[in-house]
Amino acid sequence: MRNTAADKQPIFNRRNLFGATAAGLAASSLAACATSGSDDEGGEVTVGEDAENPFGVDPKAPLDVVIFDGGFGNEYAVAHQEIYKRAFPDAEITHLATQAIAETQQPRFAEGKPADVLDNSGAQQIPMDALVGDGELAELTPLLDAPSYDDPELTVRDTLREGVLEAGTFNGKVFALNYVFNAWTIWYDAKLFRDQGWTPPTTWDEMIALCPTIKAAGIAPWTYAGQHPVYLYDMFLMLAGRHGGVQVLKDIDNLKAGAWEHESVALAAEAMHSIGASGFLLEGSAGIDHIQSQTAFNNNEAAFLPCGSWLPNEQKAIAPADFEYAPMGVPALAGSVQPGLISAGGDEPFVVPKNATNLAGAYEYLRIMLSKEGSQIFGDTVQAATVVKGVALDNEAAKMTDALVSNPDDMFQPQFRYWYTKMNEEVRPALGQLINAESTPEEFLQRMQAVADETAADDTIEKFTHED
Amino acid sequence: MKHGRYPFILSFLALPVGLYAWLVILPFAQAFQISLTDWSGSSNSFEYIGFDNYANLFKDERLVLPALRHTGIILVVLPLVTIALGLFFAFMLNLGGRVRRGRIEGVRGARFHKVVYFFPQVLSVAIIGILWKQVYAPENFGGLITGALTAVGLPAPVNGFLADTRFVLAAVIGVLVWSAVGFYLVFFSSAMASIPRDLYEAAVIDGAGRGPMFFRITLPLLWDSVQTAWIYLSIVALDVFVLIYMMTPERGGPDAASEVVGGVIWKYAFNHGEQAFASALGVVLFFAALSLAVVSLRFGRRERIEF
């Protein structure tokens, strides 16, 4: 909802109806030309000396914030805006919370009048590769180099957990602040495992050996959100990365020739295939969505579920009271050289459009989000960790996840899905076919290598690479 | 009287025509312009690249070609099945019953049936999508059809109909037919009502059965309505999007088994950030719809019988 004063005035009283209509027609017929927007060059923002207001925010300038109104809601954003208001009481803040990010915000980019702060998240996010490729986003370097909100001695960058900027980094430049800390793990019910006397497997072979026992107890070993095979993405890639080391995954992201033909990738594909081929999937998994798979998991119909860190909090009110959400890394294949590798880092990308009217205010808003108070607000309202160090969370699953991500060298977020929409569109159905044994591992690898080669050969696609 | 008539009419037309030009014709024209560029949709800079988008359309074996194939299938099957069922039901409801005191009647409870058949038309497409998604669901997730099949000992797809590449398109077409047939039943019924009864009564006296009556009298006299229905349904077939979006895995899956042109346009425009490519596909769809209408009006023309 937009909370501007203009909305509260009656626009259509009799006297101004005609005038408003005529003006509206004139204004929107200009706007209707989607391609007619002006190309204002936004001003540059530099970091000044003043630790209170390092970006030189104009205290009267309005701020336009757009929040993805998904699993995290938008309550936390309203609280952040109150902090902003505290510093700049004269600033008018427009707050829009919506799930339709692309539908509402893409036209504004096209017009050259984007929001100041945009939480570009959810199923309807505007593709990051397109935004970065078009040069529509402002680099976040000034923000990262600015003194932090709480301690002028530290820069904002110093206050962040390690490895969390990776996801928003494109060719070495940070274009998105991924605000929420997330790790992709395999979840299981610790109570169920304790009651049944099962040990959570750490290796793939242990897991495969345990599956018949699980089945004998009348429980399917695995389930996943079949309608959204993207939930398998990190599980599959971590299997490969753990076996061959992180470089295998970097090669895939960097579109290196033959990256998908690497032995570790092939073994991971075979492992995924074996789950479906051995009948270790809950019947019907391919036909259900994430809510159904999570419900089945909560009811102990399946023992393992691949998902992100947000899951236990999201299921808190839904899962049975004695259900103990516990995360583990994907069981590593025999001979894994980096068995601790985990897909973890920032999620929920906040971006600042280059043509934002109040660029300085946008940086300041993000700085507030990254303050101790700001991130604690987020932690308290949604029980999820932010990318800021040292925010205390009072739940067991979060502590267990923290133990899994303790080594920064083992944290890596595969990126090709975000860098190349085309590969994203290919890997999802391909993984779905693979785990259901509808396609063979060889077909899967050929298919992915083909789309990687195609992407690499296409000059119209902007390429990104990992540093080092 | 004639004095000042045109300004008067024009003053009435200006607003609707203006609105139409601004909200319909201008966006159409813009789609043509955009389709010749490399515009992503989230920027105000673009370059003209000629007809590259059109050339690339027909090389896209991931989304566009399957979508064209599937839309083609829907375009043939949907009007055919819907009109056949609509005509059959309408005929049965109007003339399928017994002959009583020299008058032909519909089957028992015809009025009741008409109302019931019309129900799906009243539901919004979103509700239909959610409803049928559940009907088609896997057995152990409450799927009606899969459950019924297993109950009588027949094989059913383990993952439900929508997650199976073999059945998903047929399943969606089934829903389209289900939701459209009621309207065409009523549509054909009212058209049949305008056919003079004495034609049928003469036929009955001549000893004609239900079959010849339908093919020799009803169908020829309904030809105009059938043709109209055909064009409407073809347009519906080309526009299929919401059901695919609501019901199928990955909105066109599994693995592109139910991609349709409308859905692919949406995917390119909003998921891929390739607005220009999407516009090119939109332009192709526009011409397909246009030529379809022209062709069916041209070749469908028959002698009109006055009664």
Tell me the three state secondary structure of residue A344. Answer: strand
DSSP state of B155: -
DSSP A369-398: HTSHHHHHHHHHHH---BSBTT-----HHH
Which of A30, A66, A99, A106 is most worth mutating to test chain B (most B CB atoms within 10 A of its CB)?
A106
Residues in chain B: 307
Same domain, A296 and A444: yes
Domain membership of residue A442 (yes or no) is yes
State residue B101's pLDDT score: 66
> Of B26, B31, B14, B5, which Cα lies nearest the Cα of A21?
B14
Same domain, A335 and A351: no
B12 or A349: which leads in pLDDT: A349
Domain membership of residue A19 (yes or no) is no
Question: Which ipTM value was assigned to this complex?
Answer: 0.82
Tell me the three state secondary structure of residue A146. Answer: coil
* A385 touches A180 (CB < 8 A): yes
Domain membership of residue A135 (yes or no) is yes
Cβ contact, residue pair B45, A39, below 8 Å: yes
- What range does the domain containing A334 cover? 182-344+413-457
Say whether residue B27 is in contact with chain A using an 8 A CB cutoff: yes
Same domain, A445 and A303: yes
Measured in angstroms, the CA of B65 and the nearest CA of chain A are apart by: 15
* A 224-243 near B (Cβ less than 8 A): 226-229
The token pair that represents A3 in the structure block: 């909370």
Say whether residue A13 is in contact with chain B using an 8 A CB cutoff: no
Cβ contact, residue pair A106, B270, below 8 Å: yes
Report d(CA A77, CA A87) in Å as an integer: 16
pLDDT > 80? residue B301? no
List A346's β-bridge partners, or say none: A181
Domains of chain B: 62-299 (1.10.3720.10)
Same domain, A69 and A123: yes
State residue B307's pLDDT score: 61
DSSP state of B23: I
Report d(CA B55, CA B219) in Å as an integer: 43
Q: pLDDT tens, B238-269?
A: 989 999 999 999 889 898 999 999 999 999 98
Same domain, A447 and A362: no
Same domain, A82 and A143: yes
CA distances from A378 to A147, A180, A399, B75 (A): 21, 9, 17, 51
Report d(CA A193, CA A328) in Å as an integer: 13
> Strand A302-308 relative to strand A220-222: parallel, antiparallel, unpaired?
parallel
Report d(CA B275, CA B85) in Å as an integer: 39
Among B34, B42, B163, select the one facing A130 at the smallest CB separation: B42
Domain membership of residue A31 (yes or no) is no
CA distances from A244 to A76, A239, A261, A343, A423 (A): 40, 9, 12, 15, 22
Same domain, A317 and A330: yes
Same domain, A360 and A237: no
Residues in chain A: 468
Domain membership of residue A8 (yes or no) is no
> Of B56, B256, B48, B43, which Cα lies nearest the Cα of A127?
B43
Report d(CA A267, CA A262) in Å as an integer: 9
* Chain A: residue whose CA lies nearest to B157: A284
Same domain, A217 and A167: no
Query: Could you give phi then psi for residue A358, rounded to 5 degrees?
Result: -115, 70
The token pair that represents B226 in the structure block: 């059938």
The one-digit pLDDT tens for each residue of chain A (468 residues) are 334 333 333 333 333 333 333 333 333 333 344 444 444 444 577 777 777 889 989 999 999 999 999 878 899 999 999 999 999 999 999 999 998 898 899 889 988 899 999 999 987 888 888 899 889 999 999 999 999 999 889 999 999 988 889 889 998 899 999 999 889 999 999 999 999 999 999 999 999 999 999 999 999 999 999 999 999 999 999 999 999 999 999 999 999 999 999 999 999 999 999 999 999 999 999 999 888 999 999 999 999 999 998 888 788 888 999 999 999 999 999 999 999 999 998 889 999 999 999 999 999 999 999 999 999 999 888 877 888 987 777 778 888 888 888 888 899 999 999 899 889 989 999 999 999 999 999 999 999 999 999 999 998 888 999 876
Domain boundary among A357, A374, A402: A402
Q: pTM value?
A: 0.83
* A 34-93 near B (Cβ less than 8 A): 34-35, 37-39
Report d(CA B260, CA A131) in Å as an integer: 26
Q: How many CB atoms lie within 10 A of CB A399?
A: 10
Domain membership of residue A153 (yes or no) is yes
DSSP B194-213: TS-HHHHHHHHHTT--HHHI
State residue A39's pLDDT score: 42
Same domain, A115 and A259: no
Q: What are the CB-based long-range contacts (under 8 Å, 24+) for A463-467?
A: A463/A255, A464/A129, A464/A170, A464/A171, A464/A253, A464/A415, A464/A419, A465/A171, A465/A253, A465/A254, A466/A250, A466/A253, A466/A254, A466/A415, A467/A172
Cβ contact, residue pair B270, A130, below 8 Å: no
B227 or A249: which leads in pLDDT: A249
Element counts in chain A: helices (H) and strands (E): 18, 10
State residue B257's pLDDT score: 93
Domain membership of residue A4 (yes or no) is no
Domain membership of residue A17 (yes or no) is no
- Cβ-count burial B146-182 (b if 16+ within 10 Å, e if not): bbeeeeeeeebbbbbbbbbeebbbebbbbbbbebbbb
Number of domain units in chain A: 2
Residues contacting B21, CB < 8 A, separation 6+: none
Q: pLDDT tens, B115-146?
A: 888 888 888 999 999 999 999 999 888 889 99
| Residue entry with tokens 């803040």 | A93
Say whether residue B190 is in contact with chain A using an 8 A CB cutoff: no
Report d(CA B31, CA B283) in Å as an integer: 7
Report d(CA A153, CA B83) in Å as an integer: 76
Domain boundary among A381, A402, A423: A402
Same domain, A333 and A354: no
Say whether residue B20 is in contact with chain A using an 8 A CB cutoff: no
| Residue entry with tokens 């600015």 | A146
> What does the mean pLDDT of chain B come to?
88
- With 0-12 CB in 10 A as exposed, 13-18 as middle and 19+ as buried, what is A78? middle
State residue B156's pLDDT score: 87
Same domain, A437 and A310: yes
Q: How many CB atoms lie within 10 A of CB A412?
A: 24
CATH of the domain at A327: 3.40.190.10
Contacts of B254 in chain A (CB under 8 A): 286, 429, 432-433
